[in-house]
Structure formats: structure tokens, C-alpha cells
Structure 1
Amino acid sequence: MSKIEENSYSGNKLIDDLDLNPIDIEICDVTLRDGEQTPGVVFTKEEKMNISNQLDSLGVEVIETGFPVVSSDEKDTVKQISNMGLNARTCCLSRALTSDVDSALDCNVDMVSIFVAMSDLHLIHKYNKSCEEMISCALDTIEYAKDHGLEVRFAAEDASRTNVDTLKNVFLRAQDYGVDYVSLADTVGVLNPSTTYHLVNEINKSVETPICIHCHNDLGMATANTLMAAEAGAKQLHTTVNGIGERAGNAPLEEVLMGLLVEYNIDRYDTTGLTDLSRMVEDYANITPPVNKAIVGKNAFTHESGIHVMAILENPRTYELFNPELVGGKRNLIVGKHTGIKALKGIVKSMGYSLEHDELCELKEKVKNCTDIKHGISRNKLEEMIKDIKTHGI
């Protein structure tokens, strides 16, 4: 039985009908590098190693471990993770400098991500150099890294605001130098699904090298853009746990993995560890995801409406796309102001109690008058009310 059948959910049949399944993909999680660029977030070496182990157990293919030239501690951490014996390949960031590649070599990583920006905005205001000067540095660095046996990802920072013909030309030149990937970074999150598809498709027409997509969430479309890039032919999809990262963050790992599973039936990742990993990163980063955060938010499988609760008790598929256990979560039925008698009866029964109709009416009245109603009644509080009714009567 497949994971899909076993966990009883309905995928997107329209996608099946359109035959748009992106099969040849891999995940590169950048939590340890881009995620740590979240203001106020610093992971210890032990925390980074723990996160790496969890990512590896999920089946993530590439882990971007850091930026070694930042500090000696960062370099040591990248090296430690590279030597952990993970199934995932390790990657680190590099500027277009051979000295950065030397740091990567010292760390024993499998892949180096050499980045430059080619947008006019960055060339003028960040580098104060011409595009040709930047590309010349990048190609020299790519050649040096390849000569030293590294996989090379050549990343165009701010690609989404760079002329497409410029990207094509530079990627073709990098391809001649043997790069293993070319990467499109939507650095300020300006893309939408349509423009993402167009950009990846245009590059794919001209370049044979596998394409990576790196989406930021400034407009709240990072997950959608990442999945659309996969449809257009991008191979490597970049994510962070809980979507942490600079400004509004990156494409969340948990959303991308579940999007791949539900929409495209890509089920090679162990999604049951997503909630535990989310809680780990929440603790280490001291950033709590919104309660309504998709997949891992505390309300992702919480139900209060009476109509919903009754249907959930009959068949969870009525109001849940997939079982919470599929992502390591738990269902939570809340008693609150929207809970009717029938739903209340079902919740009480699920807790192992049986109340007569007049007792249920009394319980509903107690719930309505409870000062905790604004936040919903906890299971323990509800059990106290039930026991009080059973003990003292109506």
C-alpha cells in the first residue's frame, strides 16, 4: 500500500489529468545558512548537527551547511557536519573568490555554491563593477573549484530582476566550464507562479545543466513558486524549516514536501518527522510559527466548528486533506462557542464518557459560560466539567 492510500487523502486529480508531474527533483535545505540569516537567529554547532541529522532522516538530498568564511567557528561547524557520515550531500556558500573555495575544500563539503548577482541594480549599487567583470571572476572561481574535484552550483543572485538573455548567456558560459547546477535566486521574492514558470522554462530551453530554484517569501508565494519551478523543469528546490530566513523568509520545507506529495505523488521523503523537526528549529531559533501555519502550525489539525467536528468524527477526510500522523502531528478537537450538542456528544464519547441529553445541555451551558471560551476549552478542563456533572448532577 502506498503512503497516499495508507494515509487516506485525496490528491490533486487535475494535476494527474494534466500530466505535469515533476519527477526529477531533489531538495536542498538551506536552514543552516539562509535560515540562520534570520535576524536574531544563531545556531550552535550542536544544534546545526542535530538539525542536519533530522534533515537527513527525512531523506533531504542536499544540506547547505553554512558559509565557512564567516568565522572560524562557522568553518569548524561546516567541517563537522560534512564529516558526520550523512546520506545527504553537503554544500556551502562561496563568493566568486578562490580563497572561499579553499575554505570549502578545507571543510570537505561535496558541493560549493558560487554566487554573483548580475542585475543592474546589484552591479551598480553593490559591486560597482560591470557584468563582464563579475562573470570573469565567477568563471575563474568555477574552474578552480572544478579542478579541485568539487560539485559546483553557480547561483545568480537577484536572478528574478536580471535580463533573461543575460542569464542564458552567462549560464551557457558556466556550462562550458562544467558547472553541475545553475541556480535562479528570487532574492527579494518578486516572482509569482506564472513568472516563475516562464523564467525556469526559458532557461531550460537554452541550458542543459540542471536548474535550481531559490525562492524568498516577500509576497507569500515562495511555496507556490517553488512547486511551479519544479513543474517547469527545475531539479533542485531550496527550502528552510518553518520558512525561516531573511525578511519574510524562504520556501518552507514542510510545505514543499507536502506539496510534492499531495499534488504530484512524490512520496520518497519521510514526512512523519516534519513536526518534530519544526519544533526543534522553533526551539533553537526561538521563533514560533503562526498557529495557522500550514502543516506544522498548532491549529493545522484543530477543529472547533460543530459541523466540522461531527464530520471529522465520522470521517476525518471530510475536513482534513491528510491524516496528521503523516507529518507527525495530532488531531485536536476543541470545544468552544461554535460547538453544538451533537458535536459535543461526539467529543465526550471520544473521551470515553456517556452523558444523557439533559447532561449534555448542562455541559454546553457550562462551556458557554466558561471564562476560557475565548481560547477554547482544553481537554482537561472539559473532563473536569464532565466529572462535576456526573458527581453533582444537574
Structure 2
Amino acid sequence: MTAAESPERKPGQPRISDATLRDSAHMAGVEFGPGDAAVIAGLLVRTGVDLVEVGMVSGPQSKDADLVLATHEAVGPERSMTLVVVRDRRQVARALDEAERLGVRHIMYSIPTSEQHARLKLGSDSPKFLQSLARSAISQAKERGFHTTFSGEDGARTPRERLVPYVAAGFEAGADRFRLAETVACLSPWQMQEVIADLTAIEGSEIEIHSHNMLGMAVANSLAAVRAGAQWVSATVGGIGERGGNAPLAELLTSLRVVHGDTRFDLTHLTELSRVALRGSGLGDAFQSGPTTPHAFAYELPGQLVNPEAYETLPAELVGNERELRVRSRLTPALVRWALADSGVDVDADSFTPWLIERQERNGSPLLDRDAIRKAATDFQPA
């Protein structure tokens, strides 16, 4: 798939945006460089992600300029989107100047909608002020030719009577899409479905869900949003992001495949994506879950290794991962035979296994994988 292509989409199937190169910037200690951005963006597009969200600007000389430019170079500005912070009308104009300088085509306004966040960031919780600010910002962006998404920051905690008029006002001003941000995770899937249904009922609306995973329900809430008519889902690689992370991309795409039969995406890049992104972030496996983790397809029972199709939701190869043996104290000849198959190492598993178990016990039972068992077999000297 080239950078200019998107997966063919059937009615009811969501488009996917990925915020790894934006939301991670809000996470303590995480900082990607331009090289990381180019690799991650390229892998995302090859997977079939529609839009790569990268960086944010609030005025001149954005700190994320190099990230934005590297992403444009890798996948083109039509496949990327940059967040623009909204605080007042003049600040918006300066931020749009910077976005134009960087060649940005898609912007996403970050506008706090809950009373608490509006008071903290806008200095007013007035619904009229909020709507006026959004209309002004959206109009400015559309006049300059930007594709414009506007958000409801902390939208999930924004009461319906405040949120719905705000979203309607944004579309009346010419916005292309609205993103509901579950900034503070607080909704169950059935509550999310009700909130999104109110928004998709607005004439001419195009709705995206951006859910955080503090309660472990980001993917479930995203699927509930799609069921209620949301056309877009925002995710991140490995679920990386602040406050418990975001909807993890691998779990989202594999859920779409297994639950909804959605085969648009090339899942073979997912494991590489997770390892590149989390290595670049310095977090290791801290934010990884689901089918791309090193342990997702690891077993210590021979029946699971020999008959994996009886235990796996989907095969390891589908997401670019691999099946592995990991064992400490439950070593058996059957596991040894599996580990040594096709290795070229010729030992008798029935005599080698007790020898290896004894060595394990002497060494404190360290974790054994296939390579460790094969190396030990080369050291084995039968009595």
C-alpha cells in the first residue's frame, strides 16, 4: 500500500487515525525524534491507517516542527494531521500561521468543553463563549483552506445540554469533523454509545472517538462509538499516551477483524510498530498489551505449542509476531522436542531434559526460551 492509498472501506467501517506522534508528547519523559516519526508514520500508513496525527502548534517556532516535517516527508501532508491549541482568537491566528509555514493540510483544534477544563484553560465556562470561540477558530481555518477537525477536550464529562449545541455550532461554522475526547476516562461502553448517538444525530456531522484507557475500556468504548455511528477512531501504537494510555492500535484493529470481519488492514506490521515505537519512547514494554507483546504467543504447555489453533484468537503471524516457548520449572521432554525441532541439534530429549532441569535448579530457574534450550543442548554430554 502506498502513502497515497487508503484501505477500501465498507459502510459502517470506521476510518482510523493514530495519535502516537502527538499524544505521546504529553507523556512524561517520552520524546520521539524525526527519524522515529518517519519510521512510525511509514509503518502506520502501510498498515492502512488513514491519518497520522503528529505534533502540536500553539504559535511560532513550534517545538514539534521537525516531527511534522519528517512525517510529511515520509507519508505526505495529506496523510497527516497536526493539533492546534485554542486559547483565544489572536493565538489561533498565530498558530495557523505556523501550521501554514510547516505545510500542514489537516488541523485538529483542541478546545476544552467541560466546565472544569474551560475555566482552567479559557478563563470562562460560559457555553456562549465556548461556541463563539469555536466558530471563530473554525472559520479562520476554513478561510485558509485547512481540513478542520475540532475537539471536545474532556468531552466525555461534558453534559449533553452543553456538548450538543457546541458540536452543532462547530459544524454550522464549516468544520469537517468533530472528535470526542474521553480525556478523563469515565464512561462505560453503553454510556459511550448514548453520548455518540446524540452527536451523530446532528445534521451533517462526522464524529471521531478518542478514548483513554485508564479504566481498561478504550477499545470497548471505541467499538461502542462505532456502533452508534462514529466514522473515525483514534488510537496509538501500544496504547502509548498519558493517563493510562489510549486505545491500543493492535487491539483495535484485531478486534475489528475478529468481531466485525473487517479485513482492510495489513496487520503484519503491528508487532514491528509496537517495538519501534516503544523502543523509541524509552518505555520498553510498559504500555504494551494484546497481540504484539513478546509474551502474547508464548507457551509452556506442549499441547498449546503443537495445536496453537485451539487456543489463539488469531495466529501470531497475522500480526507479525511469532510463537515462542517460555518456561522455568515445568520443563518436559515434549517441550524440549518442540524447541529442538529443525535446529540441527541432535540429542535425546528424555535424557537431556533431567540434566537441564537439574542445571535450572542450580541456577535459580531462569527463564528458558527456544534459543536457550538449543544452546544448552550443545553443551550436553550424555553420561
Establish whether residue 381 from structure 1 lines up as the match of residue 372 from structure 2. Answer: yes
Tell me which of 55, 67, 82 is aligned to 1:66. 55
Q: Which residue of 2 aligns with 1:369?
A: 361
Tell me which of 68, 75, 94 is aligned to 2:84. 94
The CA distance in 2 between the partners of 1:22 and 1:216, in whole Å, is 26
Does the 8 Å CA contact 1:61/1:88 hold for their aligned counterparts? no
RMSD: 2.5
Establish whether residue 242 from structure 1 lines up as the match of residue 238 from structure 2. Answer: yes
Q: Which residue of 2 aligns with 1:164?
A: 160
The CA distance in 2 between the partners of 1:293 and 1:69, in whole Å, is 33
Q: Which residue of 2 aligns with 1:10?
A: none
How far did residue 357 of structure 1 move?
A: 7.2
How far did residue 341 of structure 1 move?
A: 4.0
Note closer, same or farther for the CA distance 1:291–1:84 as it changes in structure 2 (3 Å cut): closer
Task: Provide Cα deviations, 1:254-286, integer angstroms capped at 9, x if missing partner.
Answer: 221111122212222221111111111122110
Establish whether residue 127 from structure 1 lines up as the match of residue 129 from structure 2. Answer: no
Does the 8 Å CA contact 1:312/1:319 hold for their aligned counterparts? no
Does the 8 Å CA contact 2:212/2:246 hold for their aligned counterparts? yes
Tell me which of 307, 317, 324 is aligned to 1:332. 324
Structure 1 stretch displaced more, 47-56 or 160-169 = 47-56
Q: Which residue of 2 aligns with 1:175?
A: 171
Q: Which residue of 2 aligns with 1:36?
A: 25
Q: Which residue of 2 aligns with 1:312?
A: 305
The CA distance in 2 between the partners of 1:287 and 1:337, in whole Å, is 29
Give 3-state SS (helix, strand or coil) of 1:102's partner. Answer: helix
Establish whether residue 112 from structure 1 lines up as the match of residue 107 from structure 2. Answer: yes
Note closer, same or farther for the CA distance 1:386–1:62 as it changes in structure 2 (3 Å cut): same
The CA distance in 2 between the partners of 1:367 and 1:99, in whole Å, is 67
Does the 8 Å CA contact 2:18/2:235 hold for their aligned counterparts? yes
Task: Provide Cα deviations, 1:6-37, integer angstroms capped at 9, x if missing partner.
Answer: xxxxxxxxxxxxxxx97331111111111121
Establish whether residue 52 from structure 1 lines up as the match of residue 47 from structure 2. Answer: no
How far did residue 312 of structure 1 move?
A: 2.6
Tell me which of 291, 295, 298 is aligned to 1:299. 295
- Percent sequence identity over aligned pairs: 29
The CA distance in 2 between the partners of 1:293 and 1:84, in whole Å, is 27
Does the 8 Å CA contact 1:61/1:87 hold for their aligned counterparts? no
Tell me which of 287, 301, 316 is aligned to 2:283. 287
How far did residue 113 of structure 1 move?
A: 0.8
How far did residue 229 of structure 1 move?
A: 1.3
Structure 2 gap segments, 5+ residues each: 1-9, 87-91
Give 3-state SS (helix, strand or coil) of 2:293's partner. Answer: coil
Structure 1 gap segments, 5+ residues each: 1-20
TM-score (ref. length: structure 1): 0.85
Note closer, same or farther for the CA distance 1:146–1:87 as it changes in structure 2 (3 Å cut): closer
The CA distance in 1 between the partners of 2:117 and 2:25, in whole Å, is 23
TM-score (ref. length: structure 2): 0.87
Does the 8 Å CA contact 2:210/2:233 hold for their aligned counterparts? yes
Q: Which residue of 1 aligns with 2:223?
A: 227
Note closer, same or farther for the CA distance 1:92–1:281 as it changes in structure 2 (3 Å cut): same
